[in-house]
Structures are given as C-alpha cells and as structure tokens.
C-alpha cells in the first residue's frame, strides 16, 4: 500500500502565507496612523477606512498656481493652538525622541528622528544645522490649486499649522518631494506608503480640498493594498 502524506502541514503553510500577504502599513511619526478597522475582502474598502474616504473625495482639475505665495497661509509656524510655542517646535517635540531644549520646554535644540517616514533611516536633529524638516503632507501649493485659493487667510493658516498635515522628515527627501501629490510622489520607504496616503486623504477630507482624477486613482491604488488602513485623526 502506498502511504500518502497528511494534507495538514500543506494547509497550514498556505494559511500562513495568506496571513503574511496583507499590507504592512508601517509607522508614521505621530499617533493615529495605524490600521485597525475590520478588514474587508482584499482591495475592497472597509467601513471608516482611508480607502473609503479616498473614494468619496471630490474630483476636479488642478486650478492655476497664479497668486500662490507662502504668506497666503500666514506667517511660518504660527502659534495657532496658543500654547506659546511655534508649531514647528510642537511637531519636533511630538515626532523626535531624546528631545533636548534650548531653554524651558518649548524651543527644541536637538533630538533624534527614529525611522524617518520617508526613508526609514534615523536622522539627527540639531537646531541650526538640521537634517530634519517639517513637511506639509499636503503641500500648500497643492492645496492652493485644489480649493485653498478660495478660502480666507484664517482657514489657510489653520491648514498650514494643523498637526494632522505636518510630519518631521528627512530634509533632503522633503525638498525633492516639492509640492507633489500622491500621483507624482510617494515615500521611497514602502512601509510608510499606506499611512502617508491615508494622512493626505484625511487632510483633504477635513478641509474639503479636491483631488485630480490621477491623484484619486493613485490614492486608491496604494490604499487597496491595505483596505483596513484607518484615517489618522491628528
């Protein structure tokens, strides 16, 4: 009689492979970026997910950049939360580890960005000689061309200083990003792509900014690989 091997080990191997096939969303620098909604079928938006929110964003063409200037969004790093610290320092305190202060507990003098969300590397921050930037996840120029030019100055200042739209990141990578949207730029560090795109979706939803057709397609393409990715709340 020919003896056959039990099918159980093979079945367990297949189950394990399927379990490992999901999207690893990675960590961005602030709370609220992790996935956790019940997963639906692969590629299908779960209720309350970033993918579902992306699907609901308004699609329009990109408006002209005419009239855009950084000061249309208020002075850089305003203290919009009235805690007597500039927004830049608030974000550095949130995103860096081993933070050191110049005086008191406001002006950040140094620290370490562990696992930069754009490169996955560790970056040292030294005030005045920094390799760390604070990035507007939805670039202000991009926002200007997709609805913000119609706002008053107060709302634009709120967007520019909203922690939901800000991340401490590697400076050289941030400068290469420019004002790119999801259709034209994504982090090279692939584990960050799901939470990064989810953050862009969250900002655009919160401020009722529109997206181009190519941008929406790119958002859905990334997020369909992690359909349970939640929207960050800031």
Q: Which pLDDT band, with edges at 50, 70 and 90, does 197 fall under?
A: very high
Q: How far is CA 163 from the centre of its chain?
A: 11
pTM of the full structure = 0.81
pLDDT at 8: 36
Q: Under a CB-based contact definition with an 8 Å cutoff, are residues 194 and 156 in contact?
A: no
pLDDT at 186: 98
pLDDT at 130: 82
| Beta bridge partners of residue 101, listed in sequence order | 108
The candidate with the shortest Cα–Cα distance to 51, out of 188, 206, 217, 234, is 217
pLDDT at residue 11 tops 50:
no
CA contacts within 13 A on the Cβ side of 30: 23
pLDDT at 233: 85
Q: Under a CB-based contact definition with an 8 Å cutoff, are residues 101 and 107 in contact?
A: yes
pLDDT at residue 19 tops 50:
no
Q: CA-to-CA distance for 39 and 91, rounded, in angstroms?
A: 31
Chain-wide mean pLDDT for the chain?
A: 85
Please tell me which residue, 27 or 208, carries the higher pLDDT value: 208
Contact residues for 37 (Cβ-Cβ < 8 A; gap 6+): 46, 47, 48, 49, 228, 229, 230
| Beta bridge partners of residue 170, listed in sequence order | 132
Question: pLDDT digits over 113-153, tens only?
Answer: 999 999 999 999 999 888 999 999 999 999 999 999 999 99
Hey, where are the domains in the chain? 22-223
Distance in angstroms between the alpha carbons of the first and the last residue of the chain: 66
Contact residues for 222 (Cβ-Cβ < 8 A; gap 6+): 182, 186, 193, 194, 197
DSSP code, position 98: E
């Amino acid at each position: 009689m020919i003896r056959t091997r039990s099918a159980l080990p093979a079945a367990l191997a297949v189950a394990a492979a399927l379990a490992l096939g999901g999207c690893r969303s990675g960590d961005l620098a602030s709370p609220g970026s992790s996935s956790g909604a019940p997963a639906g079928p692969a590629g299908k938006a779960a209720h309350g997910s970033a993918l579902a929110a992306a699907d609901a964003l308004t699609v329009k063409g990109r408006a002209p950049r005419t009239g855009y200037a950084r000061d249309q969004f208020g002075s850089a790093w305003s203290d919009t939360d009235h805690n007597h610290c500039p927004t830049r320092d608030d974000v550095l305190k949130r995103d860096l580890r081993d933070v050191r202060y110049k005086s008191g507990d406001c002006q950040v003098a140094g620290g370490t960005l562990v696992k930069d969300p754009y490169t996955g590397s560790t970056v040292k921050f030294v005030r005045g000689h920094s390799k760390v930037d604070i990035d507007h996840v939805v670039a202000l120029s991009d926002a200007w061309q997709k609805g913000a030019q119609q706002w008053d100055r107060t709302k634009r200042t709120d967007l520019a200083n909203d922690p939901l739209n800000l991340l401490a990141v590697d400076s050289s990578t941030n400068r290469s990003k420019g004002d790119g949207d999801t259709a034209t730029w994504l982090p090279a560090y692939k584990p960050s792509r799901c939470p990064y795109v989810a953050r862009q979706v969250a900002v655009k939803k919160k401020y009722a900014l529109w997206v181009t057709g190519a941008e929406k397609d790119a958002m859905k393409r990334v997020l369909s690989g992690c359909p349970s990715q939640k929207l960050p709340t800031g």
